[in-house]
Structure 1
Amino acid sequence: MLSGERPACKWERLAVERFLRDLDRQDTPGFPYRFDEAKACRPINFGECFPHVKGQWARASGKANRIRFEPWQKFGLANIFGWVHVDTGLRKYRRVYDCEPRKNGKSIKAAVIGLYLLTEDGEFGAEVYCGATSEKQAWEVFRPAKKMAEKQPSFRRKYGVTSHAKRMECDNVGTKPLPDGSKRWPDGSRFEPVIGKPGDGASPSCAILDEVHEHPDDTLYDTMLTGMGAREQPLLLAITTAGTNTAGPCYALQKELEAVLQGSIENEELFGVIYTVDDPENEWRTEEGLIKANPNLGVSVSREFLLARVRDAEQSPRKRSIVLTKHFNVWVTGKNAWLNMLDWNRQADPALTLSEFEGEDAKLGIDLSETDDLTASVLCFRRYVDGQAHYYFLGRYYATEEKVKEHDHYDEWVQGGHLVECDGGTIDYQEVEDHILESAEQVQIEQCFYDPCGAAHLAQRLQQHRGIEAVKVGQTYTNFSAPMREFERLLKAGRIHHDGNPCLTWMFGNVVAKETEDGKMLRPVKENRDNKIDGAVAALMAFIAAHEPDEDEDLDDFLQDPIIA
């Protein structure tokens, strides 16, 4: 792979480079780990003793029926189980993030890991859980593990495994023989699916969380992780495809792993590989992209099947997001999202700061909540590059202390400096105003476009006492239709720029374009009450104020008269 013989995405290459780098770090100060080849091979050999339980291989007989791991799968298993502490011999990695497209065999691999940690980990009273948000999903790993055990009598005999309707139990091997000569006794070791979070008494030695992109919050993940405190070498395995909720725990975990692989943070207990494409805009249409994202191409997933899905995506924008997430591991936004968030993310520039626009003219858009919802204040600057207008967005976003406690992603944004937390249960409008006035000392703010629902009082105060003209903009088809179409056009042309604030990105990803019956006009709405769009609306209002049509545009089509509604 490193030689280029097999195409691989950036994240797979970085995972391999990390492994080779750690091999070189063995026996050096500050790196208390070694790679134990025997321990690395044991779960691989263990898994290849089991039969396939579905698909064409399950119909085969003899050795053709047995599981055979591909090299890329062996690489993952060897890393998880082969790296151990020099002194204790315990595993280095305690958390694993495995992001693979559908049909690449992640459920079978996870089932083998679950069976191995049930029987071969030396953990007395082992508790292995398959956790998910629904019973159906929780069984996606547990069912094949249960069938594999039931189809392998020698496995059940050796480890004393008994299979029940909704769990498996086993008798661990003891050090002293029992009266009948056996070295086993019932120690409570079990393997079972779990929906939601397990009971307070659970002490997982292994937790396999399936399709983590569907988890709305960190509850299950954190419950499993905190319950592992009494275990010597627990393992939390998160397996998933990409998804649409960039504010959820799965996306946050992926970003953490990406930072580890890039070397921007150090975390010796986290391992993972992400199989995707480097150029989400174009590579999904190529043979190289198929191989990068689907390491089991031609084995468990057929080229013909994927090519058919690619044709579906080319013919239907609605199907494109499904194909990108499920078969190429590309994170996109909601099913009915207005913008192509690949375009939006491409225009992110974290280096953008207010000081870069010192003394320049800015337009302000504000969308204030009535009580405790998200509040947004966004500045838009216009600059000319090669004779064309480009638009730059910088904002501040606010949430109450109570809302931050309710939403894990809010808390993460607060910790990262992307969201301002207001004390108590209401937004501090004085703090919002103070921040606007601070900005007005650096840049020239002449106009404030605002949503009359909530922001009227602040906007009027800015006009009366600070001389910033207040213009109210109702969220109507008339006011937003042409600006939204123009904003989308400019974004695709690379003429919209922003600082990459994840809070604003999430809100733009939540925007749905609601059309009139004839499809000629549109306005921004959200799919559900939890998908906030306040920052996006504030940015669009600032854009309405700052926009200057190109020479070939019709100004009357952009702004209907009057704008005030």
Structure 2
Amino acid sequence: MATYPNVNAANQYARDVVSGKILACQLARQACQRHLDDLERAKDPGWPYRFDKNKAERFLRFSQKMPHTSGEWARRKLRITFEPWQKFSLGVPFGWVRKDSGLRRFTEIYIEVPRKNGKSAIAAAVGNYMFCADGEHGAEVYCGATTEKQAWKVFSPALQMVKKLPEMRRAFSIKPWAKKMTRPDGSVFAPVIGDPGDGDSPSCAIIDEYHEHPTDALYTTMTTGMGAREQPMTLIITTAGYDIASPCYEKRAQVVEILERIREGGENEAIFGIIFTLDDDDDWTKPEALIKANPNYGVSLKEGFLRAKQLLAISTPSQTNKILTKHFNKWVSAKAAYYNLQKWIAAADKTLKLSDFVDDECYLGIDLASKLDLNAVIPVFCREINGLKHFYCVSPFFWVPEDTVYSTDPALKRTAERYQTFVNQGVLIPTDGAEVDYRLIFETILALRAGVKIASCPIDPYGAVSISHMLMDEGLEPITITQNFTNMSDPMREIEAALAAGRFHHDGNPILTWCIANVVGRHPPGSDDIVRPVKEGNENKIDGAVGLMMGVGRAMLNEPKDFLSNLDPDEDLLIL
């Protein structure tokens, strides 16, 4: 009679997480609940998938024959032993198959987990299985990364595992070379830096630390090259990162919507995802937060190490976001980000539209940062609810010159690729030539006025003279707002307070979200109560956030009269 100790442990883990016996975040619970629900759905003859315990058990048994390759466990010549969370995260996707063909249901596995939770070792085990034990003739397995060092973090332990197992080499006729492994049927396992060759046909792509990839070029090339494979597998295993405009964060957003049952059917049924992090209302300073975010707590991660990192984050503000990202798996964008990204995301309401505010006054924040780069017009509305001001940002507009979007300048490569993504999403307007024509922005504002009541137009002084005159001629109250501590501190802090209190609402525009995530707070010497926005590096634009702050600043005053611009400006301006 067949036994399934590993599969049973995986299923028990799912039940223990859902019941609360094992401490886990909401996203991990949703991943476990999805599996348990699917086991029930599989009883329906019309549902196309079933769980094959034999296939899941086979993968888990093979993987746990792999030896450790570093540290104390390697010195003691121990083999890998998957923890229950690892048996679930990998065994489950290898066990689900299509009823009609018996081929794997899942073609993609996304695992997001903090550092030092054993990612590289389990990824190496997956690679070896797909290389020689999955039954794929002429298998091609690639460890894809942006640098050679990163690519070898997975391939090196996989190679060392094979070198330590002569019986495995004989059984599968494996030849371990210096930079790849091969088999007589043409199978190959190798690291890849950048894109694989045009002639390659990956059966398995392992993308480690996807958050470090500036674009989705490698992921796209790998997955589109799998078309000839019957049951390919892409394994993405990563920690959180800082760049929410990255392809990793976009993939994460897709996985979250799958776990929340927002996305169902189609390609979503072929993606398995699990995310280990903290919930938004968790207190990360508590010891139990370490256990919740780190499933390998007490195994590969020692309590003392994690607690020391936590105490460092508490005592040293400059280290806080870095530690939250790497050891609590929280996406916090800029390393010293001012705004709580999770609260910003929670404030999104994609049902909001301009027609909801035809009877409200609109405060139009206009940031004309540069004719050569991003320009923003941000509509802000304010409503009083139960004596409290609620702010709404709906349908922001962004422009950038077409020459910048499609620039071939190596220095602008990452910025150009990001802008191309926004253009493809329909949220960024590319204008002809090398400069933004401010007349286009003016025409957009006039068209906007036909639908909402524009009370005032706070505008950045840089390059604003010509458009200010045009706005004034139309009676649109242009108000010059210098980007200094005096003018920016109150609205910047009010947005923070409104987000915390649930008084801020926006429509989820991805460029505005990116700008907000890039905001870093600068304080004058000796004061923590006064702040103005700055950014880290030229790639991290904040123009939309600055426009929002100007709009909120005017909405706070609820007074069209200009007196802010008469105050003494700081010498150190934000936008140059």
The aligned residue for residue 508 of structure 2 is 500
Q: CA deviation at 1:103?
A: 1.5
Deviations 1:403-429 (A, max 9, x none): 566755545545555444556765465
Counterparts in 2 of 1:161 and 1:529: CA distance versus 1, 3 Å? same
Deviations 1:467-519 (A, max 9, x none): 11122234345543555455545555554443332211111222234556777
Gap regions ≥5 residues in structure 1 = 171-185, 550-554
The aligned residue for residue 396 of structure 1 is 397
Choose which of 254, 257, 260 in structure 1 pairs with 2:255. Answer: 257
Deviations 1:522-565 (A, max 9, x none): 5433322222211112112223323339xxxxx99x87625799
- Answering whether residue 534 of structure 2 is matched by residue 525 of structure 1, we say yes
Deviations 1:332-357 (A, max 9, x none): 11113333334433443434333333
Deviates more, 1:233-242 or 1:394-403: 394-403
Deviates more, 1:186-195 or 1:104-113: 186-195
The aligned residue for residue 210 of structure 2 is 212
Letter in 1 for 2:553: I
- Answering whether residue 449 of structure 2 is matched by residue 436 of structure 1, we say no
- Answering whether residue 24 of structure 2 is matched by residue 8 of structure 1, we say yes
Deviates more, 1:363-372 or 1:39-48: 363-372
The aligned residue for residue 473 of structure 1 is 481
The aligned residue for residue 298 of structure 1 is 298
Distance 2:230 2:404 in 1: 36
Distance 1:350 1:317 in 2: 33
Letter in 2 for 1:325: T
Distance 1:324 1:517 in 2: 26
Letter in 2 for 1:239: I
Distance 1:75 1:495 in 2: 39
Counterparts in 2 of 1:22 and 1:412: CA distance versus 1, 3 Å? farther
State how 1:96-495 maps to structure 2 within 5 Å: 96-170=109-183, 186-266=184-264, 267-279=268-280, 282-368=282-368, 370-394=370-394, 395-400=396-401, 407=416, 409-410=418-419, 412-414=421-423, 416=425, 418-420=427-429, 422=431, 427=436, 429-464=438-473, 466-477=474-485, 479-481=487-489, 483-485=491-493, 487-488=495-496, 491-492=499-500, 494-495=502-503
Deviates more, 1:75-84 or 1:333-342: 333-342
Deviates more, 1:385-394 or 1:242-251: 385-394
Choose which of 496, 519, 544 in structure 1 pairs with 2:553. Answer: 544
Identity of aligned residues (%): 47
RMSD across aligned positions (CA): 2.9
The aligned residue for residue 75 of structure 2 is 59
Q: Secondary structure at the match of 2:236?
A: strand
Counterparts in 2 of 1:78 and 1:208: CA distance versus 1, 3 Å? same
Distance 2:44 2:505 in 1: 45
Distance 2:87 2:170 in 1: 27
Q: Secondary structure at the match of 1:453?
A: coil
Distance 1:37 1:347 in 2: 42
Letter in 1 for 2:40: D
What's the TM-score, normalizing by structure 1?
0.87
Q: CA deviation at 1:270?
A: 0.9
Runs ≥4 in structure 1, deviation > 6 angstroms? 517-521
Counterparts in 2 of 1:344 and 1:263: CA distance versus 1, 3 Å? closer
Deviations 1:238-261 (A, max 9, x none): 110011100000000011111112
Deviates more, 1:214-223 or 1:116-125: 116-125
Deviations 1:86-117 (A, max 9, x none): 23322111111111111111211110110011
Figure out how many residues of one structure are paired with residues of the other and give that number. Answer: 540
Choose which of 44, 51, 55 in structure 2 pairs with 1:35. Answer: 51
Letter in 2 for 1:229: G
Counterparts in 2 of 1:77 and 1:190: CA distance versus 1, 3 Å? same
Q: Secondary structure at the match of 2:520?
A: strand
Deviations 1:237-287 (A, max 9, x none): 1110011100000000011111112222221211111111112x5342334
Distance 1:292 1:131 in 2: 30
Q: Secondary structure at the match of 1:117?
A: helix
Counterparts in 2 of 1:85 and 1:351: CA distance versus 1, 3 Å? closer
Q: Secondary structure at the match of 1:365?
A: strand
Q: Secondary structure at the match of 1:2?
A: helix
The aligned residue for residue 174 of structure 1 is none
Letter in 2 for 1:471: I
Q: Could you tell me whether the CA contact under 8 Å between 2:243 and 2:333 is conserved in 1?
A: yes
Deviates more, 1:385-394 or 1:260-269: 385-394
